[in-house]
């Protein structure tokens, strides 16, 4: 079954709609330069409204170039399940996070993707993906709405549990799943009416389109 992550959650109502529609993971941005950034207190407040979550649902903090201690502390304080490392982190940093982190790759070509997959693909947590592939952008760390290269994604997905991100929408997610065969799909801006605020109908449509291809 294709898993779905709804990322960039900033409001309880958006999280509730995503969970009710069948989202498997909720993503919370812990990077201060993002328009979807939340403070620790804001994340804690939202999660307190949602708990208890079903045991098969996961919450994910998205980090960019944070230290090991910072990621560990934020996971502990907020109760987030997993860390998505979306910056320039090393394999050594992932290894210090006790099987609770996975790396996001932003690759411009097949060779770079292969190198990244070899470096990070074996470090993913048992309860999450091995890797996330996002669209390449020379300056932004994600959330751009640009589409990832599905050919690169498909090559990675043949070897690793891949979470596909980058430019996905309710209109193209089924095609993406058919072509890439990923472990899961990740969307943020593709289901928003403005940065940080989800379009509830788009969230439902995205999840329905992704899940309809699952056995």
Q: HSE on the CB side for 66, CA within 13 Å?
A: 26
Specify whether 7 is catalytic: yes
From the candidates 14, 24, 130, 134, give the one annotated as an active-site residue: 134
Specify whether 107 is catalytic: no
Distance of CA 51 to the CA centre of its chain: 20
What is the torsional sign of CA 149, 154, 159, 164?
A: positive
Rounded distance, CA 144 to CA 141, Å? 8
Q: Label the pairing between strands 184-187 and 162-164.
A: parallel
From the candidates 7, 14, 107, 130, give the one annotated as an active-site residue: 7
Q: How far is CA 215 from CA 1, 64, 212, in A?
A: 6, 35, 8
Q: What residues are annotated to the active site?
A: 7, 134
């Amino acid at each position: 079954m294709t898993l779905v992550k709804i990322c960039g959650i900033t409001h309880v109502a958006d999280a509730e709609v995503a969970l009710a529609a069948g989202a498997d993971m909720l993503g919370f941005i812990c990077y201060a330069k993002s328009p979807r950034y939340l403070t620790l207190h804001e994340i804690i407040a939202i999660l307190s409204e949602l708990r208890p979550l079903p045991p098969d649902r996961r919450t994910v903090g998205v980090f960019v170039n944070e230290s090991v201690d910072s990621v560990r502390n934020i996971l502990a304080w907020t109760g987030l399940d997993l860390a998505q490392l979306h910056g320039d982190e090393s394999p050594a940093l992932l290894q210090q996070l006790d099987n609770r982190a996975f790396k996001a790759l932003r690759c411009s070509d097949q060779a770079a993707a292969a190198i990244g997959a070899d470096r990070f693909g074996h470090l993913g947590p048992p309860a999450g993906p091995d890797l996330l592939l996002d669209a390449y952008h020379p300056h932004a760390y994600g959330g751009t709405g640009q589409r990832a290269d599905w050919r690169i994604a498909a090559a990675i997905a043949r070897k690793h549990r891949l979470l596909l991100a980058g430019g996905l929408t309710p209109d193209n997610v089924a095609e993406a799943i058919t072509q890439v065969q990923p472990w899961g799909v990740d969307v943020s801006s593709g289901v928003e009416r403005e940065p940080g605020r989800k379009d509830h109908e788009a969230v439902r449509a995205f999840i329905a389109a992704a899940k309809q291809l699952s056995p």
